[in-house]
Amino acid sequence: MKKERYYVNDISNISGLTRRTIQYYDNEGVLKPAGRDENNRRFYTVKELRILEQITFYRNLGFSLKQIKEEINYNDQKESLLDVLSKQEIYLYSQLEETQGKIDAVVTSKRLIEMGYSPPWDLLSKIMMGINKVDISIWSNYPFSKAQLTIFNDVFDSQQLVFSFYNTFRKLSIKAVSYKGAGVPVDSSLAFELAEEWIDMVEKVTKGKSEVTNAFLQVDKHREKWNKGEKDLLDEAEPYLEDILKSYYEGRKD
């Protein structure tokens, strides 16, 4: 049977949080008691219990108490909650992408060593420093045209597909930079493997449709609006990618 009043000890036992934590949340203004009883003891109701559950959930997602206090709507309004969760989703994907970028650099370096090349440590370090500062949330506010939005919404029908493409694009760009710096010949089997991966990525995302290709090219023309780390990576990778693709297609003609 639900109680009408819950005291700090009750809240602590139910939530598994310490009394000090609950008091801290009160002091920070994120979990206020419903009132005080005749003995001036703070008490809470089912409403505050639900708010605490929400606070605990957001804390486990990585929200700061400041974010919780400023952004979370305890009225559970659908649009407000979706907006807050969407922001945190992008933030978490950013963390994931940063880690994945490091993994890609490690895997690429291992591949180069296995094939007898010396990874370009200094160049890779500079590229990784730029990638680590990338804030992918800027793409949420990127000034896409209506036509571009229509095309991209059709191509990427889920957030996961967007990040899957982004991850592949960045991984192959890191490979290109690494291969270029290591002196991998553009007509080598290693370079041709990269060419095939790039071609496969492009074909999967465009499906051979010129309007999709053009939409991507239009975004590419405005790299000044990209994250600096992304721009620097592609600027460094592009000449080598162009050379290996040219060599690859010429090799197929022979």
Residue ranges in the chain whose pLDDT is less than 50: 1
pLDDT at 74: 57
Q: Could you tell me which CATH number the domain at 8-71 has?
A: 1.10.1660.10
Question: Which tokens hold the place of 99?
Answer: 């880690």
Q: Where in the chain is the domain with CATH 1.10.1660.10?
A: 8-71
Which tokens is 145 given?
Answer: 């045209």
In the chain the first and final C-alpha atoms are separated, in Å, by 81
Name the percent of the chain lying above pLDDT 90: 51
* Helix orientation angle between 78-114 and 121-132, rounded to the nearest 10 degrees: 180
How many residues make up the chain in this entry?
A: 254
Q: What is the 3-state secondary structure (H, E, C) of 3-14?
A: CCCECHHHHHHH
Can you give the pLDDT at residue 72? 62
Res 76: pLDDT: 58
pLDDT at 2: 59
pTM over 0.85: no
Give 22-37 pLDDT, tens digit per residue.
Answer: 999 988 888 889 999 9
Q: List pLDDT tens digits, range 188-202.
A: 999 999 999 999 999
CB 186 within 8 A of CB 244: yes
Residue type, 27: N
